């Protein structure tokens, strides 16, 4: 890469990634705060573990239903306006969760939270295809996802401390969890409106030379690949490669949410206070952050994708099982930390795959479809995991279920890569103007 390229990538990274990371950090805290509120909320609202799991998981139904439409709208109106709308609405719903009166209200608000946030994560993934060449996307997704690890660490520490504010100003600790984590999203929505450019050509901080370099590189990459751009972007939902990627991705949110939603409960069994529980839960997410930094960089250096998805997934599956089988709380916790790292490490590399055959509004819809279907794994995890535990009374059986799903996902990577290779081997055919636009860009 020449000096112009290095300077351009450095400028974009410095200007864009901290803001996107902060947005994801707040989004993830607002998504995960319910796992800490649960420790008091279940008793106050008279919820069973299964009823709580259903309410928490309704987030993913709203997320699933609105994900693709949200991302298509984002591609049309621009990231700045749409990200600000997403953040303002999810912040408002989070604050309302602090005033939940009964199970029905909890169910409705969790569904609305999923609908409000839908489109943010895939929207960022789509936006990164407009700002970074292929060789940099895995690393940028890794940096972006590190925000989720930091969010879990902060949420763990802050969530436990907020629970210990129980009684302050007449509010329960779980209410403080929602009130204190919803406000920052609304504040940041104003910041996004002020400083986030929709695309490179509108970035005032990127000089003309840098814009020309980036445009040339991205166009050259598209010209070297058989990419698909449908006139109706929703047609991408029928693309076999998108369907396979979506089914594969289910394994990662399923295992991640199965772990992260129940990790505080596992640590609570160690007999520690709420604050200590939160501080201990920082450690797994530090491990995740390190894995998200190292694995995409190593994959980019070697120009290798498959094994950088498969190996971490298999490591995560094995450690989930070992976390139950080994004796002693310290060893159990250590394997949970390694499991968390394995579950997340391959995901930035996974997200480089859709952009190899999709572009434009079709890419926005395809990425959203993969993410929305995949995140149904969170719905499955929050209902099936507690059901398995209630039905069997075993701590091992739920972990075996999560490990089996993660192993199946690892095996599907080979199927997906074979489908992608076949797609690249067959030249894209031109379609009627009223149908699809397929071909090189």
Distance CA 179, CA 167 (A): 14
Amino acid 2: pLDDT: 79
pLDDT, mean of residues 47-51: 77
Amino acid 428: pLDDT: 44
Distance CA 395, CA 225 (A): 47
269 pLDDT exceeds 90? Answer: no
* pLDDT tens string 147-167: 877 876 776 667 777 888 878
| Residue 430 pLDDT level (bands cut at 50, 70, 90) | very low
383 compared with 102, residue with greater pLDDT: 102
pLDDT, mean of residues 266-290: 78
Amino acid 261: pLDDT: 59
For the ranges 86-100, 146-160, 378-392, the lowest mean pLDDT is seen at 146-160
Amino acid 441: pLDDT: 30
Amino acid 156: pLDDT: 65
Amino acid 262: pLDDT: 62
212 pLDDT exceeds 80? Answer: yes
Amino acid 243: pLDDT: 93
Are residues 125 and 367 in contact, defined by beta-carbon separation less than 8 angstroms?
yes
Distance CA 139, CA 244 (A): 23
Are residues 151 and 26 in contact, defined by beta-carbon separation less than 8 angstroms?
yes
Phi, psi of 47 (to 5 degrees): -95, 145
| Residue 104 pLDDT level (bands cut at 50, 70, 90) | confident
394: helix, strand or coil: coil
253 compared with 231, residue with greater pLDDT: 253
173 pLDDT exceeds 80? Answer: yes
pLDDT, mean of residues 373-389: 80
Distance CA 328, CA 331 (A): 6
Concatenate the DSSP letters of all residues of 178-208 into one string. HHHHHHHHHHHHHHHHHH--SSGGG-TTS-H
In what helix (H) or strand (E) does residue 233 lie, and over which residues does it extend? none
Amino acid 327: pLDDT: 84
Distance CA 41, CA 35 (A): 10
| Structural tokens at position 80 | 């700045």
Are residues 143 and 155 in contact, defined by beta-carbon separation less than 8 angstroms?
no
Q: Distances in Å between the alpha carbon of 426 and those of 316, 418, 440?
A: 35, 13, 12
pLDDT, mean of residues 86-106: 91
Amino acid 307: pLDDT: 94
Mean pLDDT of the chain: 85
440 pLDDT exceeds 50? Answer: no
427 pLDDT exceeds 60? Answer: no
17 pLDDT exceeds 80? Answer: yes
Residue bearing tokens 């907020």:
162
| Structural tokens at position 170 | 């007449």
135: helix, strand or coil: helix
Concatenate the DSSP letters of all residues of 348-381 into one string. HHHTTSGGGTB-HHHHHHHHHHHHHHHTHHHHHH
Distance CA 213, CA 9 (A): 10
Amino acid 435: pLDDT: 38
Amino acid 224: pLDDT: 62
432 pLDDT exceeds 70? Answer: no
45 pLDDT exceeds 70? Answer: yes
Distance CA 214, CA 405 (A): 39
Distance CA 266, CA 289 (A): 21
Phi, psi of 30 (to 5 degrees): -70, -25
pLDDT, mean of residues 195-218: 92
Share of the chain above pLDDT 70, in %: 90
| Structural tokens at position 341 | 């790292």
CA atoms within 13 A on the CB side of 54: 10
Distance CA 17, CA 143 (A): 8
What's the first-to-final CA gap in the chain, in angstroms? 22
For the ranges 10-24, 265-279, 351-365, the lowest mean pLDDT is seen at 265-279
pLDDT, mean of residues 119-147: 90
275 pLDDT exceeds 80? Answer: no
Distance CA 95, CA 24 (A): 18
Question: How many helices and strands (H and E) does the chain possess?
Answer: 19, 2
What is the Cα Rg of the chain in Å? 21
Amino acid 193: pLDDT: 93
Distance CA 342, CA 340 (A): 5
Share of the chain above pLDDT 90, in %: 41
61 pLDDT exceeds 60? Answer: yes
Q: What share of the chain is helix, strand, coil (3-state, %, to 5)?
A: 80, 0, 15
| Residue 258 pLDDT level (bands cut at 50, 70, 90) | low
């Amino acid at each position: 890469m020449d000096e112009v390229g290095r300077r351009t990538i450095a400028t974009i990274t410095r200007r864009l990634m901290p803001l996107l990371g902060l947005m994801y950090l707040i989004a993830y805290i607002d998504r995960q705060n319910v796992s800490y509120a649960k420790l008091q909320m279940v008793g106050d609202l008279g919820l069973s573990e299964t009823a709580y799991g259903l309410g928490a998981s309704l987030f993913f139904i709203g997320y699933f239903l609105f994900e693709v439409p949200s991302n298509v709208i984002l591609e049309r109106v621009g990231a700045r306006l749409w990200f600000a709308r997403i953040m303002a609405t999810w912040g408002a719903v989070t604050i309302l969760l602090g005033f939940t009166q009964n199970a029905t209200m909890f169910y409705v608000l969790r569904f609305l939270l999923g609908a409000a946030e839908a489109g943010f994560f895939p929207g960022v993934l789509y936006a990164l295809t407009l700002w970074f060449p292929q060789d940099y996307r895995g690393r940028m997704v890794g940096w972006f996802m590190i925000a989720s690890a930091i969010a879990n660490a902060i949420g763990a520490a802050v969530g436990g401390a907020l629970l210990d504010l129980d009684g302050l100003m007449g509010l329960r600790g779980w209410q403080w969890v929602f009130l204190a984590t919803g406000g920052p999203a609304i504040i940041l929505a104003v910041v996004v409106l002020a400083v986030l450019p929709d695309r490179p050509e509108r970035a005032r901080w990127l000089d003309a030379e840098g814009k020309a370099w980036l445009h040339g590189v991205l166009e050259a990459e598209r010209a070297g690949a058989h990419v698909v751009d449908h006139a109706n972007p929703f047609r991408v939902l029928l693309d076999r490669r998108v369907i396979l990627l979506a089914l594969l991705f289910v394994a990662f949110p399923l295992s991640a949410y199965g772990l992260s939603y129940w990790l505080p409960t596992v640590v609570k069994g160690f007999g520690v206070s709420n604050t200590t529980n939160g501080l201990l839960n920082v450690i797994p997410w530090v491990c995740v952050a390190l894995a998200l930094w190292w694995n995409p960089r190593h994959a980019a250096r070697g120009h290798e994708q498959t094994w950088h998805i498969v190996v971490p997934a298999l490591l995560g599956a094995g450690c989930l099982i070992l976390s139950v089988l080994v004796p002693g709380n310290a060893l159990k916790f250590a394997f949970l930390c390694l499991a968390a790292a394995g579950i997340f490490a391959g995901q930035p590399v996974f997200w480089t795959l859709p952009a190899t055959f999709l572009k434009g509004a079709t890419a926005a819809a395809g990425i959203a479809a993969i993410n929305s279907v995949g995140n149904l794994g969170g719905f499955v995890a929050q209902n099936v995991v507690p059901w398995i535990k209630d039905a069997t009374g075993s701590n091992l059986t739920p972990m075996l279920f999560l490990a089996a799903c993660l192993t199946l996902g690892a095996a599907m990577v080979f199927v997906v890569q074979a489908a992608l290779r076949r797609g690249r081997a067959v030249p894209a055919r031109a379609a009627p103007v009223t149908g699809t636009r397929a071909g090189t860009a």
